Structure formats: structure tokens, C-alpha cells
Structure 1
Amino acid sequence: TPAQDKPGSVLKYQRLGPDDRQATLEAFTGTKLSNLTAFDSLDACTLRETTESDASRAKLGKTIADCQKELGK
């Protein structure tokens, strides 16, 4: 949840199943991702960020916001 967002939380996101990842994205964006394409795009971007060298320091909220900006949301 956004209240539990800490450095490295991006790596915890990576270990979640698809339903939990969708619920997490919805909690952070405040938006229901009923459109599968919207979820897939944001999920793929967020998962890609887990491979970055600074992932162990990255907060999930900032990562999701950056991905939304990248996707034009």
C-alpha cells in the first residue's frame, strides 16, 4: 500500500502475482484498471524498473508515477 512504500519496495512488487500487482497499481494510482491493456502497459513498465541498478533504493510510488508519465497517463 502507499502507506508502506519504502526504498526497495519495487523489488517486492516483482514477487507479487498478477492479481496482487493489479491491486497494488490501483491502490497507488487511485484508478480502477478494468482495461487489461492499461494494466498490462503499466505493469510491464513497473516490472521493467525492477531490473534497473537503483531498484533496491526505488520507491514504488515514484516508479509508478514515472511509468504513468512515460505512458502518457
Structure 2
Amino acid sequence: MRTHFSGFVPHEVAEAAIGHGKKGMGKVYDMFKYRQQLRAAFKQWSAILDDVLAGGANPYDDERPQRRAEGGSPQ
């Protein structure tokens, strides 16, 4: 999920979506919770999953890393 979120939300929102806390000074001074942005991100993610489950193409298929065949060379 986190990888896919990178395609449509800012880094901070994607990190908040998976429960990662802020680091450094942001942990102390940035108390923004990104609630509206998280709600919108999860709605968009839900729509993507609904489309995939309905037989639609995964919009991220072309961005997946290449797997290696058993012989060790990329497919």
C-alpha cells in the first residue's frame, strides 16, 4: 500500500497512513494530523482496489520491479 500511495499523495500523508511518526524537529513542532488528506487518500485507494477486484487493470502493473526468472536473468 505504501508504495502505491507514493503515486498520488505527498510523502507525509503516505507515512501517516501507515502509522509512521514524524522524525526530528517535525516530531516536536509539526502537530498536523492530515485527517482530511488521509481520508481522501484512503478513498482513492479504495476506488483503486474496487476497480482491480472488478477485473480492471492494476494501474501500477507497469511500475513493479522486474522479477528474476529461475535462471537468474530478468524476465
Give TM-score, length-normalised by structure 2: 0.35
Structure with bigger gyration radius: 2
> Comparing both chains, which one has the higher relative contact order based on Cα–Cα distances under 8 Å and sequence gaps of 6 or more?
1
